Amino acid sequence: MFAVVAIGGKQYKVAQGDKVIVDKLAGSVGDTVTIDAVKLVSDGKSTKVGTPTVKGAKVTAKIVAQGKGEKIDVRRFKSKVRERRHVGFRPQITTLEIASITA
């Protein structure tokens, strides 16, 4: 069984036991998060597609870690005018472990 869920404006395909890295969510390590924005649920035989979400479907996940992601490097350059800019940052991320999918 798998589902497509929307977390933080992005969509993820998840199954039970998967670990998913998403943008930072409120909560601490060990907390349980319920995701109601389920776009699609499939059990291998039948598929339910939401308009825009599947009614009654939810995904529960456990927060495994809170941390920083890979460094993102942004460089801008304009030729002939000696203009150069460099910006770098590490986004805050949350690692989720999918506990169950309820259709």
| Interval 62-94: pLDDT, tens | 999 999 999 999 999 999 999 999 999 999 999
**Mean pLDDT of the chain, nearest integer:** 96
Look at residue 103 and tell me whether its pLDDT is greater than 90: no
pLDDT, residue 96, reads 97
41 within 8 A of 16, measured Cβ to Cβ: no
pLDDT, residue 29, reads 97
Helix, strand, coil % in the chain, rounded to nearest 5: 0, 65, 35
What is the number of other CB atoms lying within 10 angstroms of the CB of residue 74? 9
Q: Whole-model pTM? A: 0.84
Q: Give domain limits for the chain.
A: 2-102
Length of the chain: 103
